[in-house]
Structure 1
C-alpha cells in the first residue's frame, strides 16, 4: 500500500475539500466523577479551561475552551430524583478567543470573559438555572447582577432524559459555546430498567456542531457580516460553519457491532439545523425527544433537528454486517451534507438481547388547550438598529424591557409564537417541558396591518418526530406555533429565547418570572 501519491493534497483546515473524512474514530465523552458527598448528595467540580484540542488527526491543535478542558465536556450522569451539587469554575484567560461586539449587553467594557452554565431542559430552582446575568469571571472575581450562588443544586425531579449544559453568558453566548463550552447531562429513569433498550457501550451520545477554521487550525468565527456593519467586531445574524464535528472530531467514523445501538443526538450548533438520514434512507426508531421517552417508538427515515433539540434513536445494524453507512444531512450537499459514518466491522461480542419495545412509557399528564389558564400571543419579528443591523425581537421587546411573561405555579399556559419572518426560529423556554399542539398558517399582510390573526388553513399537528416532551420548538415562518405547558414548581427569574445563539445574543431573549399563586 503506497501512500506517496504525487497528487496528495495537503490538508488545509480552512478548506474543507482538503480534509479527509472518516479518519478519526468517534470519541465518547468521559463520565464526570463526583469530588465528594455533601449533605448526602454527590458534589462535582467542573473547571472551564483553555486547552489544545485536536479536531482531526491531520490538523494542528486548536485552542478551545472546554469544561474540565474537554470538548465536549464530561457527561454528567444522574438518576431521576437524585440531587447533585456542581461548582462550575471559571479558569479561563482574561482575553477572549473570539471577536467581541462591544455594542451588545455588558460587552462594552471588561470583563470580556464571563461565563455562566445553563443546564438545558432542567427543572431547577432559578438560582441554579444559569441566568444570563448570573455570570462570573475567573475565580468569581466579578459577578453579574443576578449572580447568587457558586454551587448549583440540581434536583433532577423530572423524567429520564438527554439534557445538555452549555454557557449562557449575556451578550457572548454564541462565542462561548462556539469556543467549546458544551456537554451532556443524562438523567436515568428507573422505568428504563424494565425496557430492554441498548445500554452501556451501546448507548452513545452524539453532539453535532459545525465549525470553521483558519489555515493554522485555529477556530474561525467571523468578525463582521457581509456586507460589513459600520461597527467592528459586529454580531452576525447567523453563523454557518463549513465542517461538521461530532463529539469534537471532524466527520468521524464509529466502528460498531452488527446489533442495536441507542444514540442520543444533540444539535449543539450556533445556527445550523440538520435533517439526518441514514445511508440510502434506511429506517431507524426514535424513542425520545428533548424531555424524555415517547409513549411508543416512531419509525423514521429522516430526523430534523434545530439547534438545541435532542432526539434519541435506536439504529439496528444487525443486517448490515461489513457495510459502511453514512449519517447524512439532507439540508445540504457537499461537505455539509455528511455528518459521520458507521462502519459495521466489529464482531458481535455476545447475543443482542436488547429490544425496540412496542410501548415505552404510559403518559400520565394530559394537557388540554381548552383548560389553559392563560394563552399568550407572542410575535417573532425584527427591527433595525442605528447601524442598519437586524435586531431580532420577541413580542417587540428587548432583553432589558420589563418582564411581561409571568406564569403562575399550578397554571397551564398556551404560548402561540407568531413568526412574521421568513425563516424558522428554535424557541427554548427555560424550566419546563411542553407539548407542541399545532402550527396554523395565517394571513401575514392582515396581521401586519391591524394585528388580527386571520387563519388561512387548518391547524397542522406536530411532526411525527416532535410529539413527545419538548423544551425547544421550531417556530415555522408564516405560522402560529402553539405549545402547552404546566408550571408546577420553582418560582423565580427565568428566560425564554431563540436558540440560534446569534439571535439570542441580539436581542431575541426575554425574562420570564414564575410566580406563586396570589
Structure 2
C-alpha cells in the first residue's frame, strides 16, 4: 500500500529530560510500550512500539563526558505485533515472544550496559535471557561528539522489534567545538530514515511464513525485507519548510535492509562533515551519499540560493544492494522534500569550516594480527538463504579474542552476492581499502587472487566508523584498536534479517 507523498510535515522529535539525578549522574527511566501513532494523513492510527510513548523514541542529548544511567522498562503487551519465526535461533517456541534489550549503537560502554542479544528480559523482568546482568545501564559518553542511535537488540527478533518501532536518536555533543560555528539549535536536526509497509487498516505489514516455514511461500523473509513507503522521523514521505540558509542534518539509516544512495533534486551538493563516530577531518563536498543500514552521515545543506524551490532527497540504491532491482523513482526513489519557503529569521552566521578535527590514524605496522573473515551465503534446512560470518553460528565457540589495547586488521572476504554492513560493538575503526578478487577461484582453491588494485575509501568514509560496507567480490580491510574495556561483545551484519538469522557472532576482549 503506497501512500501520497509530501502531505505531512516532518516531525520534530522532542529531547528527553532526565527523570532524576542519582550519585552525580543523570538518571532516565524510559518506558517501552505499545500505543497508536498517526504516521500519514491518509492512514488510520498505526499500532506501534516505542519509547516514552512515541515513535521514533525521543532524542537523548548529552555532553561529552556526561555520565548518564538509563533503566529501559519493558511494558510491552504479551503478544507480538508481528509474526514470530520460531525456527530462528533464540526465538524458539519455549522463549517468550515479547522480550527486548536495548543497544545504543556506537556507544563505548562496559559489556553489561551494551545490550547483548542474550541479555533480554520480559515485562517486569519476569523472564530474563541467559546473559541478563542488570536493570540500569550506564553510559559514560567518554567519546567524541557524534550522532548515535538506540534500538532493540534481542536475539532472534531484532528485525521485528525495530520494525515495530523500537528505535531512537542519541546525540553526544562537545561544547569545546562550538568555535566551528556550524548550524545549531533549530538549524541542527536529525533525519531517521526507515521503510514500512501498511495494511489497509493502517497496521504494520511484515511478511510471515507457515510454521515450519515453506521456502516456496516466502523464501526471502530472512534474507532481506524492503517495504513500500519511506518514513523520516516517523512520518511517511514528509516535507520540511526551511529558510534560505544553511542547515545541519544528522542522517541515520534506521531501515532493516534498505540502502539509500541519496542526491538532491536541485543538483546541489551535500557538505558532509561527519560519519558514524564523529567529524571528518575536513568537510567533503559530494553530490551523493550512500548509507547502508545503521550508517550515519552528518551533512550541511545550503538552501541560501534556492529560495522558493521544492527540493527532494532522492534515492537510487538497488534492493538488495548493489545487484538487486532498481527502485521505483515515484515511490522508494524519493525520501523527503524540503520547501525553501520560510522567511529568513536572522542573518546566517554559521559557516562550513575548512578544517573540523584531526584524525590520528592507526598504523598498519602496529597491528598484531590480520584476520581473514569470510562472508558466506548458504542455505538452511528449509532452503532459505543463510548468511554467515566465517561459516559460524552464534552458539559456536568464540574464536575472536583480541587483547585489550591491541590493534588488529580485519579483512572481510565477501563471497555473497550483496553488500553486508558489518557493525562491531564497543570499538571504532578506520577503513583501509577495498580490493576486487576472483570469488570462483577462492571458492575452488581457498586462495585469494586479486583482480585489481586496492582502492582507498571514499573521502567521506575516511572518518571513524562503527559500521562498514563490505561489497560482494571485494576484500574490505579495516583497522581497529580494542579499547577501553574487556568482556563479551557482538559483531554482526546490520541488515537485521541477516543478523537475526545467524549473521552475528560474539567476540571477547581479554587481558
Pair 1:377 & 2:372 matched: yes
Match of 1:98 in 2: 82
Worse overlay, 330-339 or 169-178: 330-339
Alignment of 1:114-513 (within 5 A): 114-224=99-209, 228-229=214-215, 235-331=221-317, 332=327, 333-363=329-359, 365-513=360-508
Tell me if structure 1 keeps the 8 A contact 2:220–2:384.
no
Distance 1:219 1:492 in 2: 37
Tell me if structure 2 keeps the 8 A contact 1:99–1:233.
no
If the length of structure 2 is used for normalisation, what is the TM-score?
0.95
Deviation at 1:229, TM superposition (A): 2.0
Tell me if structure 2 keeps the 8 A contact 1:297–1:358.
yes
What runs of 5+ residues in structure 1 fail to find an aligned partner?
1-13
Worse overlay, 272-281 or 198-207: 272-281
Tell me if structure 2 keeps the 8 A contact 1:260–1:318.
yes
1:470-511 alpha-carbon deviations (Å, 9 max, x no partner): 100110000000000111211011010000000000010000
What runs of 5+ residues in structure 2 fail to find an aligned partner?
318-326
Deviation at 1:268, TM superposition (A): 0.3
Match of 1:4 in 2: none
Distance 2:260 2:209 in 1: 25
Match of 1:3 in 2: none
Deviation at 1:327, TM superposition (A): 0.9
1:170-220 alpha-carbon deviations (Å, 9 max, x no partner): 000000000000000000013321110000010010000011011111000
Deviation at 1:82, TM superposition (A): 1.0
Tell me if structure 1 keeps the 8 A contact 2:119–2:133.
yes
Distance 2:282 2:237 in 1: 31
Worse overlay, 228-237 or 194-203: 228-237
Tell me if structure 2 keeps the 8 A contact 1:237–1:502.
yes
Deviation at 1:43, TM superposition (A): 0.2
- Within the candidate set 27, 35, 39, 2:11 is matched to 27
Distance 2:489 2:13 in 1: 29
- Runs of 4+ in structure 1 off by over 3 angstroms are 230-235
Match of 2:323 in 1: none
1:420-447 alpha-carbon deviations (Å, 9 max, x no partner): 1111100000001110000011121221
Tell me if structure 2 keeps the 8 A contact 1:47–1:90.
yes
Distance 2:219 2:29 in 1: 34
Pair 1:45 & 2:41 matched: no
Distance 1:234 1:321 in 2: 45
Instruction: Report the RMSD for the aligned CA atoms in angstroms.
Output: 1.4
Distance 1:144 1:447 in 2: 39
